């Protein structure tokens, strides 16, 4: 992933594709950069408007959402 902090976004209802490869230029969302990596995005459905903390480090045990795992990682 690209950073040791979550991506906090105000989300509207709908399907979202969270980048799981760390190469997206539109993080935390997938932009197709995973092609050829063997990784695929995680698609979730947001059912109501809300603030979402998307995992930015890739170490969350609750992917695609942040669980604070980035706090125990060395600085990037």
2 vs 50, residue with greater confidence: 50
Mean predicted lDDT score pLDDT of the chain? 94
**31-47 burial, b if ≥16 CB within 10 A, otherwise e?**
eebbeeeeeebbebeee
Tens-digit pLDDT profile for residues 22-58: 899 999 999 999 999 899 999 999 999 999 999 999 9
Task: Give the CA count within 13 Å in the CB-facing half-sphere of 4.
Answer: 7
pLDDT of residue 9: 98
Domain ranges of the chain: 7-65
Q: Is the CB of residue 26 less than 8 Å from the CB of residue 41?
A: no
Is residue 1 scored above 60 in pLDDT? no
Closest CA to 28 of 61, 3, 45, 48: 3
Which pLDDT does position 75 carry in this prediction? 82
pLDDT of residue 25: 94
């Amino acid at each position: 992933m690209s950073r040791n902090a979550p991506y906090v976004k105000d989300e509207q209802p709908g399907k979202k594709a969270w980048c799981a490869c760390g190469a997206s230029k539109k993080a935390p969302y997938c932009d197709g950069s995973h092609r050829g990596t063997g990784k695929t995005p995680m698609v979730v459905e947001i059912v109501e408007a809300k603030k979402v903390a998307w995992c930015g480090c890739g170490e969350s045990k609750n992917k695609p959402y942040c669980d604070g795992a980035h706090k125990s990682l060395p600085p990037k």
